[in-house]
Amino acid sequence: MSDIADGLGTWAAHHTEAKAVTTNRQGLLSIVSDPFFFAPFEVSMKSITRLLGCSLLALGLLGQTAGAAEKNAPIQFGALTWESGSLITEVLRTLVEKGYGYRTDTLPGSTVSLETALAKNDIQVIAEEWTGRSPVWVKAEADGKVLGLGNIVKGATEGWWVPEYVIKGDAAKGIKPVAPDLKSVADLARYKDVFKDPESPDKGRFLNSPSGWTSEIVNTQKLKAYGLTDSFVNFRTGSGAALDAEVASAIRRGKPVLFYYWSPTPLLGKYKLIKLEEPAFDAEAWKTLTDASNPNPRGTSSLAATLSIGVSAEFSKQYPELVSVFKNVDFPIDLLNRTLGEMSDKHEDPGVAAARFLKQHPEVWKAWLPADVAAKVSHSL
């Protein structure tokens, strides 16, 4: 044991002095051979094992925390600029916030830019997506980056319209028919003077969608396909609201107006309008209309409308409970048009109109939700 003691002293001196120490070789051998001195090494291995275990646990918790933090971030909805899109957005935001306790926000942008953002998960929801129309959407869907959930408004449509009095007149208002034989887009060139453009009086005026909408590209290509570029000005309104105002102003004054429009909208519920005939839908021709760079577009009716809730692939993984709800969403089109008409007449903010819709029509939206979630939403209204 004296050798061991001597060795301990030598070992200690070696580790406490910053210079070379002459050691008792026999003592050091005794230290190495004595099992007692393996204990510090065993403790170190246990400590390392514990440290590794704690590190792995910490990494796991960190991952969970990061996931939780990501889920606690606001769900970004695209800020849609047309009435039905803005109303549906606010209805869905209310259900998500009041029913599930998730925060939401909106991000503005054109249709194409919002679809691009959705594919990148920069936004998570487009509340009214006309699926299958935009090349951006079609590619993103094929790549598995976006999903269209449900068929939220059955009976939706779009096309080129004129007020009924343009073709049939309106005796009560003293309006005579000015284009009695106008039935289809093929007849428009003969009636360009009826829809005279005030800035280019030798041409008619066609009211297109705002720039940045997929429909604006389609309508521009249709003007080429129907041979109307020399007889009509392609007038692009600055916004959905500006298009509404232009059309409504003409109708209130009993003036002829040719315009692109769609349903669900307050306009179609408020005025008597006639949709002009177009060639039967052709899928290959449709591709030439959605491609702004195609020099030889071919005319066709628009793709049958399917309105869905567009979500990012990441959203569908993170929020399966919301995906289930979104698949159930179904707005009766007549009720939606009336709601939009009231919103327009009262110049209401979409959030106010959404709150009124939820209060007045629980029989509609409660069917989309689990009973306990519906109760939370009802209590919040």
Which of 180 and 16 is assigned the larger pLDDT? Answer: 180
Q: What is the CATH number of the domain that holds 104?
A: 3.40.190.10
Over residues 113-139, the pLDDT tens digits come to 999 999 999 999 999 999 988 899 999
Over residues 133-156, the pLDDT tens digits come to 889 999 999 999 999 999 999 999
Query: At residue 131, what are phi and psi to the nearest 5 degrees?
Result: -65, 145
In a domain, 61, yes or no: yes
Confidence of residue 369 (pLDDT cuts 50, 70, 90): very high
Confidence of residue 24 (pLDDT cuts 50, 70, 90): very low
User: Averaged over 310-329, what is the pLDDT?
Assistant: 98
- The pLDDT value recorded for residue 269 is 78
Over residues 225-269, the pLDDT tens digits come to 999 999 999 999 888 889 999 999 999 999 999 999 998 988 887
- The pLDDT value recorded for residue 53 is 53
- The pLDDT value recorded for residue 168 is 98
Domain range for 247 is 157-290
The total number of structural domains that make up the chain: 3
Which of 102 and 30 is assigned the larger pLDDT? Answer: 102
Over residues 322-358, the pLDDT tens digits come to 999 999 999 999 999 999 989 988 999 999 999 999 9
- The pLDDT value recorded for residue 268 is 84
Q: From 212, 218, 211, 207, select the one nearest 133 (Cα to Cα).
A: 218
For residues 172 and 217, membership in a common domain is answered with: yes
For residues 111 and 215, membership in a common domain is answered with: no
To the nearest whole number, what is the mean pLDDT of the chain?
A: 86
What predicted TM-score, i.e. pTM, was given to this entire model? 0.73
- The pLDDT value recorded for residue 70 is 59
- The pLDDT value recorded for residue 19 is 38
Work out the percent of the chain whose per-residue pLDDT is above 90.
Answer: 72
Work out the percent of the chain whose per-residue pLDDT is above 70.
Answer: 81
For residues 166 and 279, membership in a common domain is answered with: yes
- The pLDDT value recorded for residue 91 is 99
- The pLDDT value recorded for residue 47 is 53
Q: Is the dihedral of CA 152, 155, 159, 160 positive or negative?
A: negative
In a domain, 264, yes or no: yes
- The pLDDT value recorded for residue 276 is 98
- The pLDDT value recorded for residue 26 is 37
Is it the case that residue 75 has pLDDT exceeding 60?
A: yes
Q: What is the CATH number of the domain that holds 255?
A: 3.40.190.100
For residues 99 and 137, membership in a common domain is answered with: yes
In a domain, 84, yes or no: yes
Confidence of residue 162 (pLDDT cuts 50, 70, 90): very high
In a domain, 180, yes or no: yes
For residues 186 and 280, membership in a common domain is answered with: yes
Which of 207 and 48 is assigned the larger pLDDT? Answer: 207
For residues 61 and 122, membership in a common domain is answered with: no
For residues 222 and 282, membership in a common domain is answered with: yes
For residues 196 and 136, membership in a common domain is answered with: no
